[in-house]
Structure 1
């Protein structure tokens, strides 16, 4: 899902060659290219919109310029510019900022985004699948796993095909990749269980849904939080 080995972007399919090139890393910075949004950059870099906005002194609606360089988390200059006297992030023995602990199972009610068997489970290993891949039939409905706002709906993130990102409050984002058709638009509010897409194979070799849940920008195992499947 997030068509994902979503953390590792796959090679773009031939139908996407005419799309604007996505921005790219250069050490601790991201160079903005046409079509980039702060939501897309946050997801691709494993950060959060709130964090990127803070590090780069951005305010809503987060307008970006082509060629603009954004600071990403982890750089020494960023740490200096964002340090405050009131709050100091907890660090590990190596000096890196510790990740937030995953939420307990059952802390939020999620719904299965599609019917089908899990063809590829979540893996926390480096380069592992950061979501789950659900097999199914082309054209089958894809549903919102929870109520939220569509913050991205498109196909400019390489390897994700037709991708939807839903924001659920401040802490969660769910991702739905490789869709055949996208049925929602950016900025739209959706209800839990509402159909948002149809299943396909865009950006993938097989029909299926790549689904991710991200908690404070960190991918967590969806099967720990979804109800038991039938």
Structure 2
């Protein structure tokens, strides 16, 4: 499923792009191996409740409640967590994994990623990057930026909003912007969303405020996608606090 080859129907575009993004997040369901049995999950190094939520299909709120985890939601390597092992979750996982093979996150190999400077990108917000991009199976397909609730979130480039909603488990309040036939950006875990489907936005325009929807702390999960493939945003963003030089 390539973003640049979709029908011009905006509702179909929004649906297909949302599903493509969901598949990338859920592709990791096959990676935990024996660590995820369907009813329990064993914490690995680098795991957060947000990532475990994406892998198991269990909301962050349910994970915390089922396992007696309180803020700041600290978990330890080797800890066994109860998860929702329902048939619906299992079925969803199977479907996602099967479809993800058609459009894996590595559909465009790193050697074929676009050159730096091909397009101008702006930082969607300011703050410390608390989780970087990973090419590993089930790894983070974007960057997570910490901040304070209500902090402004900006469009990384000019484009058209193709998805505004919270139907994708693990992403909370999500916005996706299509910038061209090749590029899409995604902004997850928002508090308030200030744009609508089909709206044209300018680079640097405020589109949301930072929150913790479906996340274990206040943050922005930001993805940059090239031909439906998630690529490393840090490779293309200017230094924080600097304006793009292209």
| TM-score for the superposition, normalised by structure 1 | 0.63
1:178 touches 1:209 (CA, 8 Å); kept in 2?
Answer: yes
How far apart are the structure 2 equivalents of 1:213 and 1:73? 20
Alpha-carbon distance change, 122 to 98 in structure 1, aligned in 2, over 3 angstroms: closer
Q: Please give the secondary structure, in 1, of the residue aligned with 2:189.
A: strand
Q: Corresponding residue for 1:117?
A: 128
Per-residue Cα deviation, 1:129-188 (whole angstroms, up to 9, x for no partner): 100000000000000000011100000001000000000110011000000000001010
Q: Corresponding residue for 1:87?
A: none
Structure 2 unpaired stretches of 5+:
1-17, 27-53, 63-87, 242-246
Higher relative contact order (CA 8 A, sep 6+): 1
Structure 1 vs Structure 2 CA RMSD = 3.2
Give the aligned length: 163
Note if 1:99 corresponds to 2:108: yes
Q: 2:154 aligns with which of 123, 143, 147?
A: 143
1:4 deviates by 9.3
Per-residue Cα deviation, 1:11-51 (whole angstroms, up to 9, x for no partner): 33569xxxxx9994766999xxxxxxxxxxxxxx66xxxxx
2:60 touches 2:216 (CA, 8 Å); kept in 1?
Answer: no
Runs of 4+ in 1 over 4 A off after TM superposition: 2-6, 21-30
Q: Corresponding residue for 2:233?
A: 222
How far apart are the structure 1 equivalents of 2:211 and 2:118? 31
Please give the residue correspondences for 1:162-181 in structure 2 after superposition, counting only pairs within 5 Å.
162-181=173-192
How far apart are the structure 2 equivalents of 1:139 and 1:129? 24
Per-residue Cα deviation, 1:31-87 (whole angstroms, up to 9, x for no partner): xxxxxxxxxxxxxx66xxxxxxxxxxxxxxxxxxxxxxxxx837xxxxxxxxxxxxx
2:117 touches 2:236 (CA, 8 Å); kept in 1?
Answer: yes
Q: Corresponding residue for 1:73?
A: 102
Per-residue Cα deviation, 1:90-132 (whole angstroms, up to 9, x for no partner): xxxxxxx963621011111000000111111111111111000
Q: 1:12 aligns with which of 55, 59, 67?
A: 59
Q: Please give the secondary structure, in 1, of the residue aligned with 2:186.
A: strand
| TM-score for the superposition, normalised by structure 2 | 0.59
